Amino acid sequence: MTMTNKGIAIFYEKVQELLKAIDISSNRFGGEIPESIGNLRGLHFLNLSNNVLTGHIPPSLANLTELESLDLSKNNLSGEIPQQLTQLTFLGFFNVSNNLLTGPIPQGDQFGTFGNSSYEGNSGLCDRPLSKNCEDSNASPAPPSLIPADQSQESGSLFQFGWEILVVVVVGYASGLVVGVTIGHIVITKKLDWFMNIFGIKQLAR
């Protein structure tokens, strides 16, 4: 039997009694990985790569405490890598490359030993060992204004009040200008001689 173990195709002349493995790679199996696979607690190797599996990686895989190799590469798996998988302390090989995974890569324990090749082909993944850092979702909000709310409202009221005064002054000035021009026009047309006499006296006085 030839089986892919830890990314390497290995030929077994006979089935070993102590070997507990599932290798259904390079088929066209679709659908989601069942949660019930987490009941196979004695499993050492699990290879589901190169299929068309969809959905999320089930957190129940963390129950496979004897698991040494997990290959889920070349599928259409989405969502985040479950943080619970860091409980797999015997895991020596891990590959989820070429999927649709997103979010931060779990940190700690065995996950600190896996390189970039374990995650490549997932543009949505971030954090170590990738060079792409995850955005801090807990970023602190913008600092509040140093001006108290009541003072800000008061400033707004003063600003509005100033505009009102300015409008009144402009309207009054415009009204006075119109009245002045009208009266001047009447005086000049109706009392032209009187106006000229007054103006002539002023000219002589100058």
Rounded mean pLDDT for each run of 10 residues along the chain, 206 residues in total: 67 74 93 96 94 97 95 97 95 95 92 93 94 65 50 48 48 51 54 55 46
Residues 170 and 99 in one domain: no
* Sheet of strand 100-104, all strands in order from the earlier edge strand to the far edge: 78-79, 100-104, 124-126
Residues 15 and 111 in one domain: yes
Residues 45 and 89 in one domain: yes
Element (H, E) at 31: strand 30-32
Residues 176 and 105 in one domain: no
Q: Please tell me the predicted confidence (pLDDT) of residue 153.
A: 52
Q: Please tell me the predicted confidence (pLDDT) of residue 203.
A: 45
Alpha carbon 43 to its chain's center: 38
Q: Which residues contact 15 (CB under 8 A, 6 or more apart)?
A: 1
Alpha carbon 165 to its chain's center: 47
Residues 42 and 102 in one domain: yes
Residues 72 and 29 in one domain: yes
Residues 176 and 86 in one domain: no
Residues 79 and 115 in one domain: yes
Residue 9: CATH number of its domain: 3.80.10.10
Residues 102 and 180 in one domain: no
State how far the Cα of 29 lies from the Cα of 54, in Å rounded to an integer: 10
CB neighbours (10 Å) of residue 57? 23
Domain that holds residue 69: 2-126
Residue 137, domain member (yes or no): no
Residues 19 and 118 in one domain: yes
Q: Please tell me the predicted confidence (pLDDT) of residue 173.
A: 52
State how far the Cα of 67 lies from the Cα of 58, in Å rounded to an integer: 15
How is residue 42 written in tokens? 């004695």
Q: Report pLDDT digits (tens) over 67-88.
A: 999 999 999 999 999 999 999 9
Q: Please tell me the predicted confidence (pLDDT) of residue 206.
A: 41
Residue 133, domain member (yes or no): no
State how far the Cα of 155 lies from the Cα of 199, in Å rounded to an integer: 51
How is residue 148 written in tokens? 């108290």
Residue 160, domain member (yes or no): yes
Q: Please tell me the predicted confidence (pLDDT) of residue 138.
A: 39
Q: Considering only CA atoms, which of 131, 115, 114 is closest in space to residue 123?
A: 131
Q: How many domains does the chain have?
A: 2
